[in-house]
């Protein structure tokens, strides 16, 4: 069963508000738009009917995935791997971070059922996404030590600050929280 995606969007929202404030005051500009990579595909029948959530759309967006199994593009926080223009890779994923498809085929009308979150009565929990931890075999490919993991997370936080996705004053707490989260997955990040 998939777990709820634990990644905190608060730092991104706070950075967004600060950029918007500075832009309105004329003392800054918003960061460059970043779009998730992928393509639109068509469902055989609508996922939801106009009697359920008011949407009978038959289209679904299929994300392009990177080597870590996570979506490419968009705002890149430390829990995702990011290839920099220099060719260096930063970020410390611990698993698959998904929307509601949870690593199954989103063109199938039953894809939400496969995540075992469809019975959740709170729609915001459903759209909050899912998280599936990596197996220990997958983790070995990324981290040979805790220091490697922490360095990749720190570099990813530094990159996110430069891009304007998070505020500089939140960097240390994000690194600390990300390092703490790795302790939940000792088979993934060696001590």
pLDDT the model gives residue 185: 84
- pTM of the model as a whole: 0.81
pLDDT the model gives residue 40: 86
Q: Are 133 and 2 in contact (CB under 8 A)?
A: no
Residue 39 has pLDDT above 80, yes or no: yes
pLDDT of 68-104, one tens digit each? 889 899 998 999 999 999 999 999 999 988 776 666 6
Using DSSP's 3-state secondary structure scheme, residue 97 falls into strand
* Residue-range domain boundaries for the chain: 3-32+73-182
pLDDT the model gives residue 176: 93
- Tell me the two tokens of residue 68: 């870590």
Q: pLDDT confidence of 191, banded at 50, 70, 90?
A: confident
């Amino acid at each position: 069963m998939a777990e709820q995606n634990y990644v905190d969007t608060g730092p991104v929202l706070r950075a967004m508000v600060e950029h918007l404030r500075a832009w309105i005051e004329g003392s800054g500009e918003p960061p460059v738009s970043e779009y998730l990579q992928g393509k639109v595909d068509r469902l055989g029948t609508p996922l939801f009917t106009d009697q359920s959530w008011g949407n009978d759309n038959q289209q679904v967006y299929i994300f392009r995935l990177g080597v870590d199994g996570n979506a490419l593009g968009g705002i890149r926080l430390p829990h995702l791997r990011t290839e920099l223009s220099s060719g260096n890779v930063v970020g410390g994923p611990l698993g698959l971070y998904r929307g509601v498809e949870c690593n199954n085929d989103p063109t199938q009308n039953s894809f939400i059922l496969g995540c075992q979150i469809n019975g959740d009565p709170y729609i915001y929990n459903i759209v909050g996404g899912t998280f599936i931890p990596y197996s220990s075999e997958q983790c070995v490919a990324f981290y040979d030590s805790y220091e490697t993991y922490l360095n990749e997370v720190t570099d990813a936080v530094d990159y996110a600050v430069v891009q304007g996705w998070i505020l500089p004053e939140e960097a240390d707490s994000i690194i600390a929280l990300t390092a703490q989260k790795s302790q939940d997955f000792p088979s993934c990040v060696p001590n």
